[in-house]
């Protein structure tokens, strides 16, 4: 199992070193803008990560624990540390040195919807977890794994002696419980997930012995390795996949959750009655609350920290998991940090300001790249150091053209016209966007993932149709029959001679997309295309895209760097988020029963390739992915602008007191920033 061996760091730095200082005269043309050099800033670190010691010979023989746990052991409230740890140890060598116990990690969060803020800290509660490059999976809950040659059986080898946070053993039974009593329960999950149903053929989870689990499929499903290693419904782990009403994640604490299921609680009536008694409407609402680690302190978990004050309070408090199964080479049970407290900030300005005031010890989430100058200004005062971590995805502002739009035939005609899309892409001056909104630290280009990644379609594809060329754009637009312009120089519709007006639906979310779109609209105006930016509230925008009402929708394509694991922002496969064509997504998702079949052969080709990939071995899969990217970019269904930036979770404020924090984080959905960097190894130097 291998997602490509090129290490991400080297090529990144190579690119960065090319930069030179940026100097421009006001009157001079924007062309003179040079890509500014990030290396000058000294804010971009070397990629570095923890090492997992797999050779039992090097494992520590004696173990230490946090003082307060030792106290509990003394009182007999807790078994000795040795018995709490599994025989199959997980030994992690921190990035720099052995740490010290103690301290609280203060962070900011934005409310009950921000559960990911904490889920990510417990990223190690999944079978496999990628390393700091995001390219190679490491063991986590599972000490090892294997995909059969026919690609029909995937085996997880669990750690012997692994325990839940309440001390109960964690075994294959917990996987079987999830599969039989949660996944297969139609009340909880009305329909199977693609991760478990290759080519529509449902797979099974089979217990081999207490510490061996098989995932069995009827057809070859080599992709399952990637799925298990990615932040997917199947591989995502308990913290994220079973919080906030989700019910995935491949395993669950059977010994605790059974009592809340009708099957074990004497039928639906009994279960409902019990739920009512506790103030829940139905047994299901109760179950959703009980299996949610952010809400239910009693829930057994496997991550380094467990909730003690639930997320739906002004402060969300987590404390160390006394049965956490990871130690450092010196035999200290991790985590070093006693506690994590997240304070509610009603708005992001306040959150950012608090970060600058040094009220947080490590915060990368919700930090606004636009504030970077101010953040740097307050570095010494807030006693933090700033790191810029560059993301792997192609673009932070992607303009999806709705291919299934119907309301206005004329508009639909142009949205479906490849040259129209290409022309608009050429008309975008990405350097301008980069300077204005990414402070010049990002990389202009198409939607394609970074050069470092295996799925990168090849040289030239980040530039294809994605370099600024107004003249060519104009020629192309003239050529496709939009030569006629009105008094103000805007191109007119071919049906009624009125001005052709495109709507760009932009949401004020991770990036100031409405503002970005204003600039893009201004650049499009220069080639005679009128685009009306619609600054729309998030829910509204999504509802409207689901109703197929949008012309163009702006979002980011984070996650698409691992095309198969998170395809929705590259390919319209899930109706809940298919900006590129909601009706096509419905069609694809329903196996042709609902929605609208694409008449564009290229889209059909993409669907085919995507489906075939699941059964392909790694190398073919990579080729297929590159194939898909090439079509996507050549067709410009979505225009890429600027990406591979620190805009999302990439501006990191780290307290000077905090040790073992890598100088570079992997920014990608499956890296679980910052959890992928194993926060349990971080500690306070003083």
Partner 1 sequence: MIAYIVRRLILALLTIWAISVVTFVIIQLPPGDFVDAYIVQLSASGSVVRFEEAQALRQLYGLDQPVWVQYGKWIIRVVQGDFGASMEWNRPVTEVIGDRLWMTIVISFAAIIITWGIALPIGIYSAVRQYSFADYIFTFVGFVGIAVPNFLLALIIMYFGFKLFDLNIGGLFSSDYQLAPWSWGKVWDLMKHLPLPAVILALAGTAQLIRIMRANLLDELRRPYVTTARARGLVEWRAVMKYPVRAALNPFASTIGYLLPFVVSGSIVISLVLSLPTVGPLLLRALLAQDMFLAGTIVLLLGILTVIGTFISDLILMWIDPRIRAGMHE
Partner 2 sequence: MSGAVADQAVPLVTAAEEKIAIASQLQLTWWRLRRHRLAVASGVLVILFYLVAVFADFLAITSPHATNSARSYIPPQTIHWFDEDGSFKPHVYALKGRRDMRTFKLVYAPDPSDKRYLAWFVEGYGYELFGLIATKRHLLGIDRGVPEDALFLLGTDQLGRDVWSRLMLATRTSLTIGLVGVALSLFLGVLLGGISGLYGGAIDTVIQRIIEVLRSIPTIPLWMGLAAALPNDWSVIQVYMAITVIISLIGWTELARVVRGRFLALREEDFVTAAELAGASRLRIIFRHMVPSFMSHIIAAISLALPAMIISETTLSFLGLGLRPPAISWGVLLQDAQDIQALALAPWLLVVAVPVIVVILAFNFLGDGLRDAADPYG
Residues at the contact surface with partner 1, assessed by CB under 8 A: 111-116, 187-191, 193, 231, 233, 236, 240-241, 244-246, 279-282, 284-285, 288-289, 292, 295, 309, 312, 314-315, 317, 343-347, 349-350, 353-354, 356-357, 359, 509-510, 537-544, 546-547, 558-559, 566, 568, 574-577, 589, 669
Q: Are 148 and 133 in contact (CB under 8 A)?
A: no
Report the partner that residue 542 touches, choosing among partner 1, partner 2, none (CB closer than 5 to 8 A by kind).
partner 1
Q: Please compute Rg for the chain using Cα positions.
A: 26
* 284 interface partner picked from partner 1, partner 2, none, CB below 5 to 8 A per type: partner 1
Q: Is 181 in the site for partner 2 (CB under 8 A)?
A: no
Nearer to partner 2, 108 or 237 (CB): 108
Minimum CB separation of residue 542 from partner 2 in Å reads 12
Nearer to partner 2, 22 or 176 (CB): 22
Among residues 220, 252, 218, 260, which one has the least CA distance to residue 234? 252
* Pick 330 or 353: Cβ nearer partner 2: 353
Part in contact with partner 2 (CB under 8 A); list of ranges 135-143, 146-154, 528-536, 639-647: 528-536
| Distance from C-alpha of 559 to C-alpha of 540, rounded to nearest angstrom | 23
Cβ contact 49:662 at 8 Å: yes
Binding flag, residue 412, partner 2 (CB under 8 A): no
Site for partner 2 in 413-442 (CB under 8 A): 431-437, 439-440
Q: How far is the CB of 185 from partner 2 (least distance, A)?
A: 36
For residue 536, the number of C-alpha atoms closer than 13 Å in the C-beta half-sphere is 21
Distances (CA, A) of 386 to 41, 219, 364, 666: 10, 48, 10, 15
Nearest approach in angstroms of CB 317 to partner 2 is: 28
Q: Please count the other Cβ atoms lying within 10 Å of the Cβ belonging to residue 445.
A: 23
At residue 250, φ and ψ (nearest 5 deg) are 70, -25
Total of chain residues touching partner 2, rule CB under 8 A? 61
Stretch that binds partner 2, among 154-162, 197-205, 442-450, 512-520 (CB under 8 A): 512-520
537, 599, 608, 619: residue in contact with partner 2 (rule CB under 8 A): 537
Binding site partner of 519, from partner 1, partner 2, none, Cβ cut-off 5-8 A by kind: partner 2
User: Quick one: tokens of 168?
Assistant: 């109960």
Degrees, nearest 5: CA angle 560-563-567: 70
Q: Which does 57 bind (CB under 5 to 8 A by kind): partner 2, partner 1, none?
A: none
When asked if residue 505 is in the footprint of partner 2 (CB under 8 A), the reply is yes
- 288 contact, one of partner 2, partner 1, none, CB 5-8 Å limit per kind: partner 1
Neighbours of 357 (CB within 10 A): 13
Stretch that binds partner 2, among 23-31, 284-292, 315-323, 462-470 (CB under 8 A): 23-31
Using CB under 8 A, pick the residue from 238, 242, 363, 503 that binds partner 2.
503
Task: Give the side-chain half-sphere CA count within 13 A for 495.
Answer: 9
Beta bridge pairs of residue 654: 362, 385
Q: Which does 449 bind (CB under 5 to 8 A by kind): partner 2, partner 1, none?
A: none
Nearer to partner 2, 309 or 379 (CB): 379
β-pair type (501-506, 552-555): parallel
Tell me which H or E stretch contains 337.
Answer: none
- Give the DSSP letter of residue 346: S
Which of 157, 2, 94 lies closest to 678, judged by CA? 94
Surface-to-core class of residue 198, CB atoms within 10 Å of its CB (0-12 exposed, 13-18 middle, 19+ buried): buried
For partner 1, the closer CB: 151 or 262: 262
In the bound state with partner 2, the residue whose beta carbon lies nearer, of 311 and 415, is 415
Q: Which among partner 2, partner 1, none contacts residue 370 (Cβ within 5 to 8 A by kind)?
A: partner 2
Which residue lies nearer to partner 1 by CB, 213 or 573?
Answer: 573
Is 604 among the residues that bind partner 2 (CB under 8 A)? no
- Find the shortest distance in angstroms from Cβ 344 to partner 1: 8
98 binds partner 2 (CB under 8 A): no
CA distances from 540 to 407, 545, 568 (A): 18, 9, 19
Residue pair 306/317 in contact (Cβ under 8 Å)? The answer is no
Reduced 3-state DSSP string for 129-188: EECCCCCCEEECCEEEEEECCCCCEEEEEECCCCECCCCCECCHHHHHHHHHHHHCCCCC
Helix (H, G, I), strand (E, B) or coil at 339: strand
Question: Shortest distance, CB of residue 345 to partner 1, whole angstroms?
Answer: 5
In 3D space, the residue among 116, 137, 115 whose CA is nearest the CA of residue 127 turns out to be: 137
Assign 3-class secondary structure to 554-589: EECCCCHHHCCCCHHHCCCCCHHHCCCCHHHHHHHH
* Least distance between partner 1 and beta carbon 200 (Å): 14
- Integer CA distances (angstroms), 546 to 367, 398, 576, 607, in order: 29, 18, 6, 20
Q: Given the complex with partner 1, which of 270 and 540 has the nearer CB atom?
A: 540
Inter-helix orientation angle 470-477/418-426, to 10°: 160
CA atoms within 13 A on the CB side of 477: 30
- Partner whose binding site includes residue 462, from partner 1, partner 2, none (CB under 5 to 8 Å by kind): none
Query: Which of the stretches 18-26, 129-137, 196-204, 294-302 binds partner 2 when contact is defined by CB under 8 A?
Result: 18-26
Q: Which partner from the list partner 1, partner 2, none does 654 bind, CB cut-off 5 to 8 Å by kind?
A: none
Using the structure block, give the residue that is written with the tokens 């993301």: 391
| Residue 289 interacts with which of partner 1, partner 2, none, CB < 5 to 8 Å by class | partner 1
Q: Give Dmax over CA atoms of the chain in angstroms.
A: 86
Piece of 34-42, 82-90, 248-256, 266-274 that binds partner 2 (CB under 8 A): 34-42
Q: Pick from partner 2, partner 1, none: which does 431 bind, CB < 5 to 8 A by kind?
A: partner 2
CB of 571 to partner 1, least distance (A): 14
Q: Please confirm whether the linkage preceding 674 is cis (ω < 30° from 0).
A: yes
* Residue 576: contacted member of partner 2, partner 1, none (CB under 5 to 8 Å, by partner type): partner 1
Q: What is d(CA 643, CA 462) in angstroms, rounded to the nearest whole number?
A: 10
List binders of partner 2 among 332-391 (CB under 8 A).
Answer: 349, 352-353, 356, 368, 370-374, 376-377
What does the alpha-carbon distance between residue 151 and residue 215 come to, in Å, rounded to a whole number? 10
The window from 83-91, 96-104, 118-126, 508-516 that contacts partner 2 (CB under 8 A) reads 508-516
The residues binding partner 2 (CB under 8 A) are 21-28, 30, 33, 36-38, 40-42, 349, 352-353, 356, 368, 370-374, 376-377, 407, 431-437, 439-440, 487-488, 503, 505, 508, 514-515, 518-519, 521-523, 525, 532-537, 540, 544, 549-550
């Amino acid at each position: 199992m291998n997602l490509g061996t090129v290490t991400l760091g080297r090529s990144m730095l190579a690119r960065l070193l090319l930069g030179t200082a940026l100097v421009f005269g006001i009157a001079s043309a924007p062309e003179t803008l040079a890509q500014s050099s990030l290396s000058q800033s000294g804010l971009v670190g070397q990629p570095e990560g923890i090492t997992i010691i797999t050779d039992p010979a090097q494992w520590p023989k004696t173990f230490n624990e946090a003082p307060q746990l030792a106290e509990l052991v003394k009182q007999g409230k807790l078994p000795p540390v040795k018995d709490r740890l599994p025989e199959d140890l997980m030994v992690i060598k921190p990035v720099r040195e052995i740490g010290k116990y103690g301290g609280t990690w203060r962070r900011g969060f934005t409310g009950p919807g921000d559960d990911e803020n904490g889920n990510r800290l417990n990223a190690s509660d999944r079978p496999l977890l990628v390393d700091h490059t995001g390219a190679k999976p490491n063991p986590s809950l599972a000490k090892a794994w294997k995909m059969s040659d026919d690609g029909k059986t995937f085996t997880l080898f669990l750690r012997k002696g692994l325990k839940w946070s309440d001390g109960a053993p964690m075994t294959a039974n917990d996987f079987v419980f999830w599969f039989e009593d949660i996944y297969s329960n139609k009340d909880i999950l009305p329909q199977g997930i693609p991760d478990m149903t290759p080519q529509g053929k449902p797979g099974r989870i089979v217990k081999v012995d207490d510490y061996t689990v098989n995932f069995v499929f009827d057809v070859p499903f080599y992709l399952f390795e990637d799925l298990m290693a990615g932040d997917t419904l199947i591989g995502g782990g308990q913290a994220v996949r079973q919080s906030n009403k989700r019910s995935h994640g491949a395993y669950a604490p059977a010994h605790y959750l059974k009592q809340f299921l009708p099957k074990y609680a004497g039928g639906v009536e009994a279960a409902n009655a019990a739920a009512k008694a506790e103030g829940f409407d139905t047994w299901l609402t109760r179950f959703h609350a009980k299996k949610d680690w952010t809400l239910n302190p009693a829930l057994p978990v496997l991550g380094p920290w467990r909730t003690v004050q639930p997320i739906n309070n002004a402060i969300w408090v987590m404390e160390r998991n006394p049965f956490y199964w990871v130690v450092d080479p010196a035999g200290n049970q991790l985590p070093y940090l006693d506690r994590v407290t997240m304070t509610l900030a009603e708005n992001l300005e306040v959150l950012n300001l608090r970060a600058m005031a040094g009220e947080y010890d490590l915060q990368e989430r919700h930090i606004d790249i636009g504030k970077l100058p101010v953040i740097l200004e307050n570095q010494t005062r807030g006693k933090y150091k700033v790191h810029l971590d560059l993301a792997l995805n192609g673009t932070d502002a992607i303009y999806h053209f709705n291919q299934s739009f119907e309301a206005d035939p004329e508009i639909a005609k142009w949205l479906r016209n490849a040259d129209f899309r290409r022309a608009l892409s050429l008309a975008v001056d990405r350097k301008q966007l980069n300077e204005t909104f990414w402070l010049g630290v990002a990389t202009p280009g198409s939607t394609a993932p970074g050069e470092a990644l295996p799925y990168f379609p090849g040289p030239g594809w980040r530039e294809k149709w994605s370099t600024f060329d107004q003249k060519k754009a104009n020629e192309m637009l003239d050529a496709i029959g939009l030569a006629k312009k009105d008094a103000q120089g805007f191109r007119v519709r071919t049906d009624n001679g009125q001005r052709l007006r495109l709507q760009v639906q932009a949401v004020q979310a991770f990036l100031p997309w409405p503002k970005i779109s204003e600039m893009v609209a201004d650049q499009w105006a220069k080639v005679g295309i009128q685009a009306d930016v619609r600054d729309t509230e998030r829910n509204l925008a999504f509802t409207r895209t689901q109703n197929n009402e949008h012309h163009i929708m702006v979002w980011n394509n984070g996650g698409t760097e691992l095309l198969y694991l998170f395809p929705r922002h590259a390919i319209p496969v899930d109706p809940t988020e298919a900006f590129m064509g909601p009706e096509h997504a419905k069609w694809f998702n329903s196996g042709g029963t609902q929605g609208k079949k694409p008449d564009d052969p290229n889209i059909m080709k993409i669907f085919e390739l995507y489906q075939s990939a699941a059964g392909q071995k790694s190398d073919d899969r990579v080729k297929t992915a590159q194939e898909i990217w090439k079509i996507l970019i050549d067709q410009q269904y979505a225009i890429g602008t600027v990406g591979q930036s620190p805009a999302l979770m990439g501006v990191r404020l780290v307290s000077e007191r905090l040790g073992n924090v890598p100088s570079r984080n992997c920014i990608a959905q499956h890296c679980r920033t910052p959890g992928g960097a194993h926060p349990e190894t971080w500690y306070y130097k003083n």
